[in-house]
Structure 1
Amino acid sequence: MSELVNGLLATLAYGVIGTALMALGFLLVDLATPGKLRELIWVQGNRNASILLASGLLGVGAIITTAIITSDSDMAVGLMSTVVFGLAGLALMSVAFVLLDLATPGKLGEILASPEPHPAVWVSASVHIAVGAIIAASIT
């Protein structure tokens, strides 16, 4: 019975950390795009903003999942590594977004908040997912 309780506690702890990291990811994408992300996606139905947010959440999810799978039997160390790698992934995704913005014409955040579908969103989404995959693969 204690294994069940320990497993449940670990699940809840990892779930809280994962949810908090994804919420932070939401806030970072919200900062990168003009306007309110909730308004853009849920009220205006902006596909560009939806794809950008979804890719960021997928990247963070890959990092968190890998950190959990590779964590030791020591729950405290596993939780800490999930936080550290999750934050590193969010930071690197943000840096990659800024670098992509510098390398492209116009302001990437404004382009991605545009109501018209734009191919730049697929490039940005690919960067998010690739950075998430790179961080996930580097976790040992």
Structure 2
Amino acid sequence: MNDVLEEAGATLAYGALGIALMALGYLVVEVTTPGRLGHQIWNEGNRGAALLLSAKLLGVGAIVTTAIVTSDDDLGQGLIDTTVFGLLGIVLMVIAFYLLDLSTPGKLGATLVEGTAIHPAGWVVAAADVAVAAIVAGAVS
């Protein structure tokens, strides 16, 4: 019974950390795009904004999952590793976004959430987020 309780506690701790990191990923998309992200997605049906947020959340989730799977049996160290790699992944995704922004005309964030259709650049940013997440996840293992 103690093993089940310990595993349940670890699951709650990793789950809370993963949700916190995904919330940070949400805030990153909120800051890098104009307007209120939630309103754009849920009220305006903005597919471009939804694609950006989805890619960011999937990327963060992949990093967190890999960090959890590769962590030792030490819960404390596993939580630290997951936090560090999750934050590094988010920082690297932001850097990749701004590097793409420098190489494109206009403001990339504004371009991505213009209208309700997905701008082709949205697929590029989404791919960059997933690729960065894969790189960080690979570095974790």
Alignment-derived partner of residue 78 in structure 1: 78
Q: 2:37 is matched with which residue? A: 37
**1:20-99 → structure 2 map (5 Å cutoff):** 20-99=20-99
> Who is 2:129 aligned against?
128
Letter in 1 for 2:6: N
Q: Post-superposition shift, 1:117?
A: 2.7
Counterpart of 1:41 in structure 2: which amino acid? I
TM superposition score normalised by structure 1: 0.98
List runs of 5+ in structure 1 lacking aligned partners: none
Per the TM alignment, residue 106 of structure 1 is displaced from its structure 2 partner at its CA by 1.2
Q: Which residue of 1 aligns with 2:139?
A: 138
Distance in 2 between residues matched to 1:18 and 1:38, nearest whole Å: 20
Separation of aligned partners in 2, 1:135 and 1:120: 23
1:57-94 deviations in Å (ceiling 9; x for gaps): 01101100000000000000001000000000000000
CA distance in 1, matches of 2:6, 2:118: 47
Deviations 1:90-123 (A, max 9, x none): 0000010000000111110001111143100000
The structural deviation recorded for 1:31 is 0.2
TM-score, normalised to structure 2, is 0.98
Using the alignment, how far apart are the partners of 2:5 and 2:138 within structure 1? 30
1:4 is matched by which residue type in structure 2?
Answer: V
Q: Which runs of 4+ in 1 moved over 6 A?
A: none
Q: Give 5+ residue unaligned stretches, structure 2.
A: none
Deviation sequence 1:7-52 (CA, Å, 0-9, x none): 0000000000000000000001000000000011011000000000
Separation in 2, partners of 1:92, 1:6: 33
